[in-house]
Structure 1
Amino acid sequence: MIKAKKKYGQNFLKDKHYLEKIVEAMPKSDNLVIEIGPGLGDLTEKLLEKRQVLAYEIDRELCEILKKKFPNLNLKCGDVLEYWQESLANTKYDLIANLPYYIATNIILRALKDKNAQNILVLIQKEVADKFSAKVGDKIYGSLSILASQVANVKKLFDIPPGAFVPAPKVMSSVILFEKFKDSYNEDFAKFLKIAFANPRKTLNKNLSVKYNFNPSEFGLADTIRPHQVDADTFFQLFSALKERSKNGKNNKSSRSD
């Protein structure tokens, strides 16, 4: 019996009902499927019935089990981040996986930036899924919500209780789908959002004023408005305007003369 390894964040989804629900939610495409962290292969087995699968597994012990169980599986043994350059595959693909919680956000952001990733259907911690799918006005709405909305249609599909896994995690999980309509997001915009949401409890004015000469009223915004109250389109307009000013040395505080 293989024991889950904490260092790899392993929680194996064993409940057949939820495995079937994930397969039923698969995007309708002929794309290659990439699975990260196939574990014991319960989802892998079902994915192979539908599509060609390329899997990445960091656990060498599990790799040997997977090789014996699925001799025709295209399996890469090692850290997926070491394989991931500009793209994880040289063809269009759908990422379908039960992602380890500790790496889920990083993996999703990389896939959103990967021009060959078309759809992302992943099982992740519910708290993270809620952040990616949050809407303007929600307290947890932030940079993850905005970046995802700039690149994909985001749909939180269903929750999965701890008892569906072995071992059972301490939190709820969710399955979330990103249907991309753009190849990638703007990395400079992502950095801008980090500044805007640096302290969500502060006003947008206070956060942006750390780096920019920013006047909210100039953009039709109240001085008291907080980051989670600003929609994605407005954020991009702010980013574009402030970026244009910075080219002329009129925007960054570091370039201002006293």
Structure 2
Amino acid sequence: MRHRSPAPPNRLPAPRKRFGQHFLTDTRVLDAIADALGDVSEKIVVEIGPGRGALTDRLVARAARVVAIEVDRDLVQHLRARYADRPNVEIVEGDVLTRNLAELAGGPYVLAGNVPYYITTPIIFHALALPRPDKAVYLVQKEVAERMAAPPGDKTYGALSVNLQAVVDVEYLRKVLPGAFNPPPAVDSAVVRVTPKPASAIEPELEERYRSFVLAAFGLRRKQLVRVIRTVASLDAERAQEVVAGCGLDPMARPETLTPAEFARLVRALYAAPSSR
């Protein structure tokens, strides 16, 4: 296995395709992301993919503490040198998907990141693990941002929309053009803010079941609801009809028209223990 020589101290590490690196350089967008986190003067900020430190610089100037997770070893060395004199900054080397974000923060935290497009959805769901961040601001592919925020019945509404909106509020904040990055990506991007709901649509103990059910249901998105229930839950037609009727739903409805709360009613009817219904 070949190893790259570290970049000289006066030169920034080059982007690496294998990590999907597109470094955000537009100062207006960088400021907008930092602003979207709100007042973090007494908060811990966890940053995903700090890259060369453009957003990190802004977070360090505002936050009580910053924990930045970077997978690229060259960038880790660059960042550790860059913030060597800042005791409130910790640079963690590793894959964010293998790290417990709450444990790294050591307490309540907010989250920010320019998320690599090839693993956007896994990272977003990883950040939904309890205890969730008090707020998260992501820079993602525009198409993903639209799906995250889409309402029921919208052409982009799907499993990602439902699973997120069951437990968090999603705000589409702004579009970001390719020229804001170095190197420019082939697609438009967007900034989204995610905030936990005061009351989730689904109970914590049913979240895993909920996500699996929603994914399976959208695999049958053109099927009517009774057929979806029969297939996903392995029920006969009569029992499937009873479940749908008991939830007060239209048996001819399709998954793309159901709200997160309506999906939650179905999951409770199918999987919740009698004492928890």
Q: Determine if the TM-score, normalized by the shorter chain, exceeds 0.5.
A: yes
Per-residue CA distance 1:18-72 (angstroms, 9 max, x = gap): 1111122123343200011100101100110000210011000111111111112
Structure 1 residue 236: deviation in Å?
0.7
| Identity within the alignment, % | 35
> 3-state SS of the aligned residue for 2:45?
strand
Per-residue CA distance 1:127-147 (angstroms, 9 max, x = gap): 111111111111221222222
* Matching residue's letter, 2:27: K
> 3-state SS of the aligned residue for 1:199?
coil
* Matching residue's letter, 1:35: E
Corresponding residue for residue 11 of structure 1: 22
Corresponding residue for residue 145 of structure 2: 129
> 3-state SS of the aligned residue for 2:128?
helix
Distance in 1 (CA, whole Å) between partners of 2:107 and 2:56 is 20
Structure 1 residue ranges, 4+ long, deviating more than 6 angstroms after superposition: none
Corresponding residue for residue 34 of structure 2: 23
Corresponding residue for residue 38 of structure 1: 50
* Matching residue's letter, 1:43: L
Alpha-carbon RMSD across the aligned residues, in angstroms, is: 2.1
Distance in 2 (CA, whole Å) between partners of 1:220 and 1:45 is 52
Q: Is this contact kept in 2: 1:63–1:77, CA < 8 A?
A: yes
Q: Is this contact kept in 2: 1:87–1:115, CA < 8 A?
A: no
Decide whether aligned partners of structure 1 residues 82 and 243 sit closer, same or farther in structure 2, where only a CA change above 3 A counts: closer
Corresponding residue for residue 8 of structure 2: none
Corresponding residue for residue 4 of structure 2: none
Q: Choose which of 248, 259, 263 in structure 2 pairs with 1:235.
A: 263
Residue range with higher mean Cα deviation, 140-149 or 42-51: 140-149
1:96 aligns with 2:107: no
TM-score after normalising by structure 1: 0.87
Matches within 5 A, 1:176-195: 176-181=192-197, 185=204, 186-195=207-216
1:77 aligns with 2:93: yes
* Matching residue's letter, 1:147: N
1:66 aligns with 2:94: no
Distance in 2 (CA, whole Å) between partners of 1:219 and 1:39 is 48
Corresponding residue for residue 252 of structure 1: none
May I ask how many residue pairs the two structures share in their alignment? 246
1:55 aligns with 2:71: no
Residue range with higher mean Cα deviation, 123-132 or 76-85: 76-85
Residue range with higher mean Cα deviation, 100-109 or 209-218: 209-218
TM-score after normalising by structure 2: 0.82
* Matching residue's letter, 2:114: N
> 3-state SS of the aligned residue for 2:186?
coil
Q: Choose which of 185, 189, 195 in structure 2 pairs with 1:173.
A: 189
Structure 1 residue 227: deviation in Å?
0.5
Distance in 1 (CA, whole Å) between partners of 2:270 and 2:77 is 53
